Chain A
Amino acid sequence: MAPLLTMSGITKSFPGVRALDGVDLEVEPGEVHCLLGQNGAGKSTLIKVLSGAHQPDEGEITWQGSTVRLTDPVAAMRLGIATIYQELDLVEHLSVTENVYLGHEIATRGFVRPREARNRTAKLLARLGHAEIDPGALVGSLPAAGQQIVSMARALSHEVRLIVMDEPSAALDPDEVDNLFRIVEDLTSEGVAVVYISHRLEEIRRIGDRVSVLKDGRVAASGLPASTTDTRKVVSLMTGRDIEYVFPERRPQPAADADPVPAAASPTPLLRAEGLTREGEFAPFDLELHAGEIVGLAGLVGSGRSEILETLYGARRPTAGSIFINGEPLRLGSVPAAVRAGIGLAPEERKAQALLMLESVTRNVSVSSLSRFSTGGWLDRSTERSAALAGTRDLSLSPDDPDRPVRTLSGGNQQKVVLARWLLRKCRVLLLDEPTRGVDVGARAELYAVIRRLADEGVAVLMVSSEVPEVLGLADRVLVIREGRIVHTAPAPELDEHRVLDLVMEGNPTC
């Protein structure tokens, strides 16, 4: 079969970085071609070249047999190349229909034809298996999964031959991922090719036909069969290591075995929540977090898990219940009070909720501890800088440059900056919301080791993650939450992935 798309010798440099160094990629009609690589391997740059957002310095793109130049996104769109970016690029205040036809409105002599556009949108949504989405609804009112469907409908509103999907499953729940895969299968059966980017290796084995691996701007392997290539091999191509997830060892718990009455021996919990509730978000629950313990909160997006973390942190005010830190009651609904009591939060959306993107690493690390480096409001900048530097070195932040703008760091290193912020604050309770989202496989192992080390040093960690293996591998104790209720609590070694998934989705502990 003649390839649909051939990219050869694509090179793209940015000041100081050679993002792509002679990359070749070949995509055939009707295939799902998976693109793997760590953050910074060049995936994003490659798809930006493919979508016309970046111009390559060298190299040639052949589309259906003829050489083309993709001078801008419109040129790519005209050829039938659509891209669905990781950060959805929708206008929240416009309706579904308006978003789908944004930029190519259906119009006669400049007058839009809303009914026609609406009908066509409804058809596209039905084709995507989501006829229930109202074409007139505001996009901002839809959940993340719905917005992704709108994004896909927008891609399909063009005569599309190739769809690039950048981490489409990152914000989706398992059943939504199933629907996504069904859509991908429908598309490929019609001859549309899909370039699929994901960090989740198991997905690639399920959906992919062929796999290409990028490493440091070069192709490490191309056209490997997706279903039969060994995970180990793929991971080693990406990282040069033979590991997928490396979890640090749990601390042996001799106290539990040796002491017949562990309850009496265990000191006051660092954090205790009693009957904590937020109406409409989560039902009353009790929780104890002890020093040195990692507790995992497993649940779907929207199950109330992030809301629980934010309520413990004071960013939301509970409708009932109380929180005690070291036995002392905590003022509810106040972030400064929680921070003073020694609680730290690494929120889900790092860029939007945690980082000052314009600022340096130092300033991002020190922002929660400014009073420690000041007398009467006057900052001692050299102490601040050296303390922040010590913190980031301790977590082996790379590159090791405290003045670097935090926006230039990779996802894993940005997360380390957030952790360093709370280490500097000497926080005792650390709340982590999806700590490894957008972090590549190699950097994950490092983050896991850091989190475990913090626990060993006496921090109590409460961690939320959609990735069950992560919760099971890292946590000592696992709480399973479903529709705002904690349905099960057990030590992690007593659970396995199937059991947790069943609990998460069905709430049924027997199986």
Chain B
Amino acid sequence: MLSTTTSPGKGSPPPPAKSRAKVAVGRLDLGHVSLVAVLAILTLVGGLTKPSEFLSTDNLQLILTQASVIGVVTVGVTFVIIGGGIDLSVGAIVALCSVWATTVATQEYGLLGILGCAVLVGVGCGLINGMLIAYGPMVPFIATLAMLASARGLAEQMSDGKTQIVTVNSVLDLGLPDAYVLGVPPLVMIFAAVSIIGWLVLNRTTFGRRTVAIGGNPEASRLAGIAVKRQRLMLYLLSGLCCGIAAFMLIVLTGSGQNSNGNLYELDAIAAAIIGGTLLSGGRGTITGSVLGVLVFTTITNLFALNNLESAVQQIAKGAIIVAAVLIQKGRKTP
């Protein structure tokens, strides 16, 4: 039936095992290694300048706890960016969630009421973002910029600009050293859980695969039969969910809810994702990189505070790290 054409070299068996190993080595990429190196250097600097304070258990617990809140937000933002979007509203959503979940009415329902409210408000904001972007369709930058403005405004109106003190003991107890398991604060465990689940979802599920696909080439994804709009919507829902969880963590940490919470989280989260190797144009990124990025930024903040340096210097250092990380990634891509 067929006039088959044979061409030379087609019959040679492939070396799948070898190339797989190469991919595995490739995964351990220069970006991650250099972030770990930066962390090591920062630890060294901390150990040398403030040996007793920096390396104390208390301080390490503090660094990790501070990393946890922004870390959970960053995991959500990383998904959005890999999927080809951007979420500028995360800080404002965290503020709204923290205020809504600490109103007198909500506090009556205890811990679950506060947690449930924070998560629901977060998911609700994500739903609005997602609907506007996927079905509006609006540019993500503009839709989430609008959410940034209105969510923070609503938070201020709801709280009347005042700090709302939490009186539910079961919530406050979560932040106390008594709640630590083997020295690990519960908030850090939440961060670890969110990161691990995020990693699994991105690397081991159809959801993760589709996220990467729509970020890399939305048109090809659509023509491959992926429901691109639905996937986009889901990504902003996910980001909103992470904001809700982070807001709850912030409530535990500060024992209060206020409309100034989560200020500039959007920039910190995007910056952490970027230095972790996530392409701002979408289609490529890792949870590991984002977590490392968060740890680097939090450690710097801590180090500068311990050494009584002004926050201005700290901001300059952060900027320099963003530039350096992106330059390293560029160098890696063009061999």
- Which of A's residues lie within 8 Å of B, judged by CB? 15, 241, 246-249, 251, 313, 315, 335-336, 338-340, 345, 347, 352-359, 363, 367-368, 370-371, 374, 377-379, 381, 389, 396, 398-404, 421, 425, 442, 445-446, 449, 452-453, 456
Known contacts A15-B335, A449-B5; decide if A381 and B204 are in contact (CB<8 Å): yes
Within 8 A of A (CB), among B1-40: 1-5, 7, 9-10, 12-16, 19-20, 22-23
Known contacts A336-B227, A345-B223, A370-B209; decide if A356 and B216 are in contact (CB<8 Å): yes
Pick the most buried of B5, B16, B207, B283: most chain A CB atoms within 10 A of its CB: B5
Name the B residues within 8 Å of A381 (CB-CB).
204
Known contacts A370-B206, A379-B206; decide if A354 and B7 are in contact (CB<8 Å): no
CA distance A453 to B7 in the complex (A): 18
Name the B residues within 8 Å of A403 (CB-CB).
16, 19-20, 22-23
Known contacts A363-B209, A367-B224, A400-B13; decide if A446 and B7 are in contact (CB<8 Å): yes
Residue in A closest to B6 when the chains form the complex, CB atoms = A396
B2 near A398 with CB under 8 A, answer no
Pick the most buried of A355, A356, A379: most chain B CB atoms within 10 A of its CB: A356
Contact of B223 among A347, A357, A359 (CB under 8 A): A347
Contact of B283 among A338, A345, A356 (CB under 8 A): A356
Q: Is B254 an interface residue (CB 8 A)?
A: no
Residue in B closest to A425 when the chains form the complex, CB atoms = B225
A335 near B2 with CB under 8 A, answer no
B3 near A249 with CB under 8 A, answer yes
B2 near A248 with CB under 8 A, answer yes
Give the Cβ gap from A419 to chain B, nearest Cβ, in Å.
13
CA distance A336 to B222 in the complex (A): 8
Residue in B closest to A339 when the chains form the complex, CB atoms = B225
Other A-B pairs beyond A315-B223, A378-B205, 18, CB < 8 Å: A353-B223, A354-B220, A356-B221, A357-B217, A358-B283, A359-B213, A359-B216, A363-B209, A367-B226, A368-B224, A370-B210, A371-B206, A379-B205, A401-B14, A401-B19, A403-B19, A425-B225, A456-B2
CA distance A28 to B32 in the complex (A): 54
Interface string of B146-190 (1 = CB under 8 A from A): 000000000000000000000000000000000000000000000
Contact sample, A vs B, 6 pairs, CB 8 Å cutoff:
A356-B212, A368-B225, A374-B206, A398-B7, A403-B20, A425-B225
Q: Is B108 an interface residue (CB 8 A)?
A: no
Give the Cβ gap from B59 to chain A, nearest Cβ, in Å.
39
Name the B residues within 8 Å of A248 (CB-CB).
1-3
A358 near B223 with CB under 8 A, answer no
The bracket for how many chain B residues form the interface is 35 or more
Name the B residues within 8 Å of A404 (CB-CB).
19
Q: Is B232 an interface residue (CB 8 A)?
A: no
CA distance A132 to B77 in the complex (A): 49
CA distance A82 to B252 in the complex (A): 66
Pick the most buried of B3, B216, B221: most chain A CB atoms within 10 A of its CB: B3
B10 near A315 with CB under 8 A, answer no
A335 near B222 with CB under 8 A, answer yes
B222 near A377 with CB under 8 A, answer no
- Which of B's residues lie within 8 Å of A, judged by CB? 1-5, 7, 9-10, 12-16, 19-20, 22-23, 204-207, 209-210, 212-213, 216-217, 219-227, 283-284, 335
Name the A residues within 8 Å of B16 (CB-CB).
389, 401-403
Name the A residues within 8 Å of B15 (CB-CB).
401
B222 near A315 with CB under 8 A, answer yes
A356 near B220 with CB under 8 A, answer yes
Name the A residues within 8 Å of B20 (CB-CB).
403
Name the B residues within 8 Å of A354 (CB-CB).
220, 223-224
Name the B residues within 8 Å of A338 (CB-CB).
225
B7 near A442 with CB under 8 A, answer yes
Name the B residues within 8 Å of A246 (CB-CB).
3, 5
A378 near B221 with CB under 8 A, answer no
Name the B residues within 8 Å of A335 (CB-CB).
222-223, 225
Give the Cβ gap from A343 to chain B, nearest Cβ, in Å.
9
Contact of A398 among B9, B205, B210 (CB under 8 A): B9
Name the A residues within 8 Å of B205 (CB-CB).
374, 377-379
CA distance A402 to B14 in the complex (A): 9
A398 near B10 with CB under 8 A, answer yes
Residue in B closest to A241 when the chains form the complex, CB atoms = B5
CA distance A381 to B203 in the complex (A): 10
CA distance A228 to B227 in the complex (A): 54
Name the B residues within 8 Å of A400 (CB-CB).
10, 12-14
Known contacts A370-B206, A378-B205; decide if A359 and B225 are in contact (CB<8 Å): no
Name the B residues within 8 Å of A15 (CB-CB).
335
CA distance A103 to B237 in the complex (A): 45
Known contacts A403-B16, A403-B19; decide if A421 and B5 are in contact (CB<8 Å): no
A399 near B14 with CB under 8 A, answer yes
